[in-house]
Amino acid sequence: MRKFPEVRALCAQARRPAIKLLIGTALIAPAATFMARAQVEGWELDEGVKAQTVSAEVEARTAVAEAWRAKVLERERQKLTAQFAAEFNIPFDLADEIHWAALQENVDPQVAFGLVRAESSFRTAAVSPVGAIGLTQLLPSTARWLAPGTTRKDLLEPRTNLRVGFRYLRHLLDEYDGDTRLALTAYNRGPGTVDRLLKSGRNPENGYADMVLTGKSDRHVTLMNRKFGRKKS
């Protein structure tokens, strides 16, 4: 019985629902078998051993139930991922990375896909004239602020780039009280510029938010990006 806590911990740490399900199912059997054998052979078990065994089985069954629920949710996520892949005409694997990263950083997946489309056209190796890198076009300095130790090479790796880029967007969403349009504008123009314009009573929007949310190109955004580059500071 001493092994049960370690197995339960392993089950809790497993990322894939299918693995959780296998671990949880494997955990039920020893406890149930132990109690059945004890009953058949007439073993005298003290209350502490009985309680530990029953507790282990209950926890195992709970783990299995949670794993089944996670598996169902994952199946639904995969369906949505396939829809996003079709909508944005990108490979499923890339759509899966974007969708997963968006959920992990608490960003609306639709907004996340729109941002990657606007920033890099889904090109993992995209580099802007001002040095913004990868799918979400992050500056290395911004990435290091959000995730200390992140290198330029790291930003060319899709999973890292997406997680840190969406983390930055999440930060801006929190900074602007959940205002998606302002957060997206700050992502493109920089929060310093947005704050300065707001303080002077001017509208900081330049069409970038519409480009992310609707996919429609805006000539003003294109001209601004050509002239100044995409500076996020």
DSSP category for residue 138:
B
Tokens of residue 128, six digits: 């802007």
Report the predicted TM-score, pTM, of the whole model to 2 decimal places: 0.68
Asked if residues 102 and 80 have their Cβ atoms less than 8 Å apart, the reply is: no
What are the residue ranges of helices labelled H in 89-108?
92-104
* Every domain of the chain and the residues it spans: 4-79, 90-228
Tokens of residue 122, six digits: 């889904």
Is 66 catalytic? The answer is: no
Per residue in 194-230, pLDDT (tens digit) is: 999 999 999 999 999 999 999 875 554 554 454 344 4
Say which of 119, 157, 175, 205 is annotated catalytic: 119
CATH topology of domain 90-228: Lysozyme (1.10.530)
Of 151 and 17, which is predicted with more confidence? 151
> What pLDDT shows up at residue 4?
46
- Chain-centre distance for alpha carbon 33: 40
Round to whole Å and give the CA distance between 140 and 72.
38
Per residue in 64-102, pLDDT (tens digit) is: 566 656 667 788 889 999 999 999 999 999 999 999 999
Round to whole Å and give the CA distance between 20 and 10.
8
